[in-house]
Structure 1
Amino acid sequence: MKKLLLSGFTLVSLLSCKDNEAPKTYYTGSATRAILDNMLTRRSIRKYTDQQVSQEQIDTIMKSAIFAPSALNKQPWEIRVIQNPKILAEINQRFLNFAEGKEMQGSAAKYKEPGFSIFHHAPTLIVMAIDKSNPTAKLDAGISLQNILLSAHALNLGTCPLGSLVTALNLPENEDILKLLNIPEGYEVGINIALGYPAENPKAPIRYSEKVKIIK
């Protein structure tokens, strides 16, 4: 398999309403209501514009990410924010190599379509790696992930967690990608997130309130 040969890059730590889109709302009430509104209106975005996310926006999102609670404050994550087009193209190709001949689920099932992008053509990809020796790392990373999703939404940016890319990046033949991203030994990719300006405003899928039981 082709190995990645890239150098000289730097890793820097209004929508139309269609029938299948939710109306865009802007809340101007109390801080409490704004926080709740942010959680209830955030959606996974699978269509993005070409506009790049700014350094200021990334700084805000990353500060939110690392301020997430973690067991014993171990902070068992390493986060990489990738905007280099060559690296993004290579990661996408590695996923296509992994997916070839397989039956994928969700949006990844469209990998045979021309111009497919596992991160939905978002201009920024976030890779979160976790400490394999830490038993709570997955839970801790999940909390940090939610901070990323909500802080991005608060900045009117779109995000989409990318579970299908995790297995591909953790393959032995893609170890050079992790080295390129300076992922430490003993870490593996836990989750990836597409980030950019949304080009859609999807409605919320059905939620199942019966899954919640109150016991008194």
Structure 2
Amino acid sequence: MRKVIVLSLLTLSFLGCKEPKKEQIIYDGSTKDAIIDNILNRRAIRKFTSKQVSKEQLDTIMKAAIYAPSALNKQSLEIRVIQNQAIIEEINKRFLVFAQGKEFQGSAANYREANFSISHHAPTFIVIASEKASPYAKIDTGLTLQNILLSAHALGLGTCPLGTIVPIMNRPENADLLQLLNIPEGYEVAINIALGYPDENPEAPTRYTDKVKVIK
């Protein structure tokens, strides 16, 4: 891995001294290409193997998560990583109870099928909860979510954001579930993520380039 180090030196005239040298790391060459490649090739995975994610992998992903920027650096998110299969199964049961007689879009529409899993049978289930009072919660959640998705992909893992289950987990009758996960008062589930080893390699859906306009 090749690194280009940019040194900056500031003079503080009113103090008559200089700040210590600061190093800004800028990645170059194949590493830079790898970052872009990682972004362009990540896909939502809805079929996982049973192999569990390791502690070392989780440590890396969670470090990437907490290094996501947040408004005013408030860091007003709580993250829970669930590998306890009984809890994951309970979350699925809560969804199935709510879903009866209802219609959903996407993969959740298949909830009537035997052996259905709202988290696609992924061995790890991540919950991101955000502070209700924060006006920036949605932005902070999105930034953290993307760091998790990209860092997991870089480690050869698969992820799928799970939005359908979010409002169900926040319903009053499921408050005990949030207590079990030690979600603090004043926080609500913002997004969930299925995480594990991918057992599929889906094609990229069409991207609409006309959504981008350059104004000069």
Q: Give me the whole-angstrom Cα distance separating, in 1, the residues matched to 2:191 and 2:179.
A: 17
Conserved? CA contact 1:53–1:196, under 8 Å: yes
- What is the one-letter code of the residue matched to 2:167? T
- CA shift at 1:76, angstroms? 1.3
Conserved? CA contact 1:159–1:195, under 8 Å: yes
Q: Which runs of 4+ in 1 moved over 6 A?
A: none
- Aligned pairs for 1:88-167 within 5 A: 88-167=88-167
Instruction: Look at both structures and tell me which one has the larger radius of gyration over its CA atoms.
Output: 2
Pair 1:67 & 2:75 matched = no
Give CA deviations for 1:68-90 in whole Å, capped at 9, x if unaligned. 00011011110000000110110
Q: Give me the whole-angstrom Cα distance separating, in 1, the residues matched to 2:126 and 2:132.
A: 19
Q: Give me the whole-angstrom Cα distance separating, in 2, the residues matched to 1:42 and 1:76.
A: 27
Compare 91-100 and 190-199 and name the one that shifted more. Answer: 91-100
Match of 1:53 in 2: 53
SS of equivalent residue, structure 1 residue 57 = helix
Conserved? CA contact 1:65–1:148, under 8 Å: yes
Match of 2:209 in 1: 209
Q: Percent identity?
A: 70
Root mean square deviation of aligned Cα: 0.6
SS of equivalent residue, structure 2 residue 60 = helix
Match of 1:21 in 2: none
Match of 1:182 in 2: 182
Give CA deviations for 1:48-102 in whole Å, capped at 9, x if unaligned. 0000000000000000000000011011110000000110110000011111111
- CA shift at 1:138, angstroms? 1.0
Higher strand share: 2
* TM-score, normalising length: structure 2: 0.86
Q: Give me the whole-angstrom Cα distance separating, in 2, the residues matched to 1:56 and 1:114.
A: 34
- What is the one-letter code of the residue matched to 1:175? A
Query: How many equivalent residue pairs?
Result: 188
Match of 2:32 in 1: 32
Conserved? CA contact 1:128–1:192, under 8 Å: yes
Match of 1:6 in 2: none
SS of equivalent residue, structure 2 residue 116 = coil
- Aligned pairs for 1:68-87 within 5 A: 68-87=68-87
Runs (5+) with no aligned partner, structure 1: 1-28
Runs (5+) with no aligned partner, structure 2: 1-28
Conserved? CA contact 1:76–1:141, under 8 Å: no
Q: Give me the whole-angstrom Cα distance separating, in 1, the residues matched to 2:138 and 2:132.
A: 9
Q: Give me the whole-angstrom Cα distance separating, in 1, the residues matched to 2:66 and 2:209.
A: 31
- What is the one-letter code of the residue matched to 1:170? N
Match of 2:195 in 1: 195
SS of equivalent residue, structure 2 residue 165 = helix
- CA shift at 1:157, angstroms? 0.1
Q: Give me the whole-angstrom Cα distance separating, in 1, the residues matched to 2:213 and 2:139.
A: 22
